[in-house]
Structure 1
């Protein structure tokens, strides 16, 4: 509830709108947010307001990743890694009719 109030105070009605897609930020923005947090006495929320980021926990996550792994922790792709290589994907794309014929052969 507090976060909604702060988002409304900082960003107006736009801060309350639910975004349909996940926002991704470039590495430069993440580094600037971390630098701003470390060199000033601003809170995560205040840094977010300056950069137009209405979720202060994003900045906290960037800070944690930076402390653990440095710049590499910030540039890592988000999400689950792929489980199949490209060659395996090609094998799985065999047309069903052809596969059915192979199975039916005596």
Structure 2
């Protein structure tokens, strides 16, 4: 099936089928906005996976997370940074400081 659609592997097709079987059409739709998960939810997911030995996909289905690679990212971040790494981070550019640098006066040419 993967060759038919010029995919190097059939794994994505398996994921799509499993997402459809688990979540219906909603499982195949691309999300318009990112869902922000609380830290406690992430910890519960990681604890469940460690305790049961479930695969990424099985864990994603158990917690109704459509993207199993998200759980892989949480695992990697948790192993590297601990609980603090799972907390939300500010996105985008920081706002401009109110204390703008004072400009130097231009030297006067006589």
TM over 0.5: yes
Task: Trace 1:89-100 onto structure 2 (pairs within 5 A).
Answer: none
Give the Cα–Cα distance (whole angstroms) in 2 for the partners of residues 54 and 78 of structure 1: 24
Q: Does the alignment pair 1:38 with 2:59?
A: no
Residue 29 of structure 1 is matched in structure 2 by 41
RMSD: 1.8
Following superposition, the deviation at residue 55 of structure 1 comes to 0.2
Structure 2 unaligned blocks of 5 or more: 1-11, 101-110
Alpha-carbon shift at residue 76 of structure 1 (Å):
3.8
Q: Distance in 1 between matches of 2:34 and 2:18?
A: 20
- State TM-score, norm by structure 1: 0.73
Matched with 2:81 is: 69
In 2, the alpha carbon distance for the partners of 1:76 and 1:53 equals 18
State how far apart, in whole Å, the 1-side matches of 2:76 and 2:90 are. 15
Distance in 1 (alpha carbons) for counterparts of 2:93 and 2:57: 31
The farther-off stretch of 46-55 and 73-82 is 73-82
Instruction: State the Cα distance separating 1:78 from its structure 2 match.
Output: 5.8
* Residues 78 and 16 (structure 1), Cα distance of their counterparts in 2 relative to 1, 3 Å cut: farther
Please state which structure has a larger fraction of its residues in helix. 1
C-alpha distance in 1, partners of 2:22/2:90? 27
CA distance in structure 2 between the partners assigned to 1:73 and 1:64 by the alignment? 10
